[in-house]
A and B are shown apart, each in its own frame.
Chain A
């Protein structure tokens, strides 16, 4: 059993007891525990089930590489699945449950998959896509869906807050082990602004656990002194609980700070995502120990040797009473020694190497530990817990020589440097034969905009396995980073450590060497996804030579741990199967984040009312309080209609149209874009931007204009007013203001940079109200001020003056066909002006109207709408707007494109009006159906509906559409397909349905 020891545990505070529950069971741990160490202290080794076979899974690691021990954390609004117990700090009141089993952790029906494992080999998932075809839909998919997924999805809204933070540093050091500390110290001593981040709560990394002695002092003391020295420096920021998540171009690095995971509900943000610009980055990210591949290496109780050592030394937790250590290197002996020194039993160290004569093995022998050289574990005995191991020859086939009783197995397969952050932005790796691992290639570092390296690496992360070497490379990296960031490297020497000589490790990828199929299919590589040695070998046999393909075929390394334990072992097996060298096979790609980070931290503050900016006009509050049914228009919310008591939206729209046509309507038109174009060359510029001739527009006049992109397609439209000799005011669509402003600036800055033109976007300076209807003039005259009669202010002119005491600019333009004034006032007075119009308009039957009413009235008049009649493939000629295209101009944006044969093809569909014979409303987007089928066996089509409404004015459905040869087919009846499969007949008519001569707007 695993239990708490009384005499060790450098990180736990035994005077602070923390209560927590696992699957409802009450347990206790101490301050300083991780959830994993606390579970182990309570003899909870079994923590979950594997993904595919539902095999029992125990804790196997002590850090971020843990693949097994994931739990559902918390409850209700703080519930989160797949939380890694090895990186979860214990806190009082923590609750968690195990995952991926049914009905219980101890008894899981899904384990049946384990017994049919023979039929669920590598690529099983892909093979289910193949014959018989029906099997996927009816057999495999339901089964796979049922068993897929680890944790449960949260059901409640997350109550915590998350945020971003932008920081700028000379040097960012990732990893607070001794190499990272020394790198930070050296960079800071050189005068650089330094940030050092450490993902755990404690500084120093593995050195204290491994018994390092630095400058003659125990590692703990050196660490405390170094941290104290760094804390005292003004130019250093130290952050724990912060993981270097990703390295990106231009020295951009993200830090994932778990501010309040261990103090839920204390009012602080839960996570903070740091977005840091660093001139130089030092990755001192340490290394991860590799498992060994022997049969039954996934049975709970089999653990990484380093983790076994961590739990004993750091947390005072023993994994078992009797631990067999299996290793291919000297470092594994540290675990054996630590266990014996803690008073625990190590019945045997099984060493795959034939000769074992290093300093550490000999120390182990001196402690009375039995060391068996050239041996291997043939098989682990046990189900939900290790009960013993069968020992065999490493160079044999697995014939058992002896069985050793034990309740834990510590495996030491060598160390893989954490090269993730080095690799994120293109750092390359080299294969180190002696250590049998990939390490960063300093000659091929990630480079910045100037072609110089911006990531350095230090310590074990660089493959510098000895303490002295790690400190020296940390020191060198710190100085080099400071120098590259523009400082003068300090001349202080790096600290020295006591040297422990270690003999070479033996690259052992399978144990025993000649294991047969029965053993190989019990050797786990990826614990979470159940990928075994036999699966990778099968993939190789089936032709998967690329490591990336093998990864996807077998799912090796695709679990939430992203193969931190399994990748190197799996790729060594693949290389062996392909008779290739490991570096030739290569690694899969390392992508950020290093370990999973919360989605909420990425969203940061963007949730709830600040999820997205919502643009509001000065009248927004009034609109909201007066029955508005909103619709989104860009980031604006505009009223679709104003609902009165008991009205449906349709009824409100109908009422608004009738009222505006008969009496008086007000539209909040503030969202319309307003862009000033000014300068000696402004006329020339306007002529290029618009298809119309704008340079000849007289001061005081308005003209409707079209803008096309360089491909000839309609992009925006609106009314242009000539303000003075060299100034024009361009109205754009509501959604188009920023885009068109950017479009104008782009042309001015990149193509016509020598033209004297300035543009300014003044959209938000003005509140604009459309005063529309037969009574429009009456209400303005009642308010009093400027002359708004036809004689003084005719249709398509504008003027400035006072109305009701407000400074206004009045445009006589009409998008409804009615007598209409669009009146701009300073935005800060918009609400007051609106109130004044509503009050004065009462006797004239004033009612506000929304965007749907606007749409219907414009459709009744046959006016096009950008986004309805246009979709990025429509040229003005398609819409019969030739009158708005100047023939006198030498050039305008889109002119040449519109002359291409495809654009001048008479077969292009063209705009017409459509009237159903039965008066019904055509479905939006419906296609006009023609006789016969095309080459694909589909019905031929000859057009489509672009706008369609019920017209309250005419009491029938009206529509616009683009139809093949439409304008030449007036009066012809064609058919449109409806969603229910039936057809509806419609007559082709002129698109102006109401007041064809435009008499109403020109009174």
Chain B
């Protein structure tokens, strides 16, 4: 819909890494039984991916799925498709115990990109971000300073961060502060 505006309307900041809001991303919270074949098929049909392993994420061409907990996934689809995708999932899972909720508008998506992007995150998230421990394909549900967030590496030197929409300003300013030139740590 043309009226839809993301929380920060594509704000960006260039520090020792680039911080930019990515606009609207379709997201569906999907809860259910991962072992159930109907559930597996429904996920595959809506985003083209298999159910990821613990703390893993697979994304391709704006579609994908992230592991959130033993019974919760985050399905990624283009924003314009999110309402219909949620309904498709609900329809496909009818008769099984599952919950599909469109949460596309409840979120802000921010990307941090640059050679030292790992250090921007490591200042505010209690996560092992060493090259040996964290690579594309993995996701962490954690906190950024004082708020909940999830992130994954969407490329080499690139992080995609998902947080709640209401704290979009806070998260953006937090990342901006962490990325101020001169505050490189030289550790990761």
Contacts and interface: CB of A to CB of B under 8 A. Distances in A.
Contact of A828 (B24, B119, B126): B24
B170 A765 contact: no
Interface string A756-777: 1010101111100000000000
B37 interface: no
A161 B107 CA distance: 29
A807 B29 CA distance: 20
A760 B145 contact: no
Interface string B84-99: 0000000000000111
Nearest to B188: A167
Interface string A157-173: 00001011111100000
B123 A163 contact: yes
Contacts of B164: 615, 764
Contacts of A615: 164, 166-167
Interface stretch (B1-9, B41-49, B150-158): B1-9
Binding site secondary structure of chain B: loop
Contacts of A676: 99, 101
Interface string B61-105: 000000000010000000000010000000000000111011111
Interface string A769-812: 00000000000000000000000000000000000011100000
A266 B182 contact: yes
Interface residues of A, number: 52
A762 B124 contact: no
Interface in A613-671: 613-618, 635-636
Contacts of B167: 613-616, 635
A396 interface: no
A217 interface: no
B141 interface: no
Nearest to B103: A765
Contacts of A923: none
Nearest to A759: B99
Nearest to A237: B187
Contacts of A762: 29, 101, 103, 106
Contacts of B5: 618, 828-829, 831-832
A166 B105 contact: no
B173 interface: yes
Nearest to A257: B185
Contacts of B182: 266-269
A616 B99 contact: no
Contact of A764 (B145, B166, B185, B187): B166
A206 interface: no
A762 B100 CA distance: 11
Contacts of A614: 167, 169-170
Given A615-B167, A828-B24, A760 B101 contact: yes
B167 to A, nearest CB: 5
Contacts of B168: 616
A758 B123 contact: no
B173 A609 contact: yes
Contacts of A610: 145, 170, 173-174, 177
A605 B31 contact: no
Interface residues of B, number: 53
A415 B133 CA distance: 42
B105 A764 contact: yes
Contacts of B3: 805-806, 828-829, 832-833
Given A609-B173, A679-B99, A758-B31, A164 B124 contact: yes
Contact of B183 (A168, A269, A277, A613): A269
B55 interface: no
A764 B106 contact: yes
Nearest to A259: B183
B60 interface: no
B122 interface: yes
Given A161-B183, A275-B126, A764-B105, A828 B97 contact: no
Contacts of B174: 605, 610
A163 B1 CA distance: 41
A516 interface: no
A827 B24 CA distance: 11
Interface in B132-157: 133, 145-147
A680 interface: yes
A680 B147 contact: no
B166 A636 contact: yes
Contacts of A763: 106
B183 A764 contact: no
A606 B127 contact: no
Nearest to A806: B3
B54 interface: no
Nearest to B167: A613
Contact of B178 (A163, A680, A831): A163
Contacts of B98: 758
A898 B121 CA distance: 49
B5 to A, nearest CB: 6
B98 to A, nearest CB: 7
Contacts of A168: 128, 130, 133
A164 B164 CA distance: 23
A264 interface: no
A959 B7 CA distance: 40
Contact of B6 (A164, A267, A806, A828): A828
Contact of B102 (A269, A617, A635, A765): A765
A680 B102 CA distance: 20
Contacts of B187: 165, 167, 237
B181 interface: yes
Nearest to B168: A616
A167 B122 contact: yes
A273 B7 CA distance: 31
Contact of A272 (B124, B166, B185): B185
A606 B126 contact: no
Contacts of B124: 164, 605
Q: Give the interface centre of A269, A613, A756, A833 by most chain B CB atoms within 10 Å.
A: A613
A272 B127 CA distance: 17
B125 interface: yes
Contacts of A680: 97
A605 B97 contact: no
Contacts of A272: 185
A764 B122 contact: no
A165 B169 contact: no
A166 B178 contact: no
Residue among B99, B126, B129, B145 with most chain A CB within 10 A: B99
A523 B180 CA distance: 52
Contacts of A613: 145-147, 167, 170
B106 A827 contact: yes
A678 B32 CA distance: 11
Interface string B4-20: 11110000000000000
B122 A165 contact: yes
A272 to B, nearest CB: 7
A74 interface: no
Contacts of A163: 123, 177-178, 183
B14 to A, nearest CB: 15
Contacts of A758: 31-32, 71, 97-99
Contact of A827 (B105, B123, B170): B105
A604 to B, nearest CB: 8
Nearest to B125: A166
A900 to B, nearest CB: 37
Contacts of A829: 1, 3-5, 105
B178 A605 contact: yes
23 contacts: A164-B124, A166-B126, A166-B127, A167-B187, A268-B182, A272-B185, A604-B145, A606-B145, A610-B145, A616-B169, A676-B101, A760-B29, A764-B105, A764-B164, A765-B102, A765-B104, A766-B105, A806-B1, A826-B104, A827-B106, A828-B6, A828-B24, A831-B5
Given A161-B180, A760-B31, 7 more contacts: A166-B123, A606-B145, A606-B146, A613-B147, A618-B7, A760-B29, A826-B105
User: 4 nearest interchain CB pairs?
Assistant: A832-B3, A267-B182, A764-B106, A615-B166
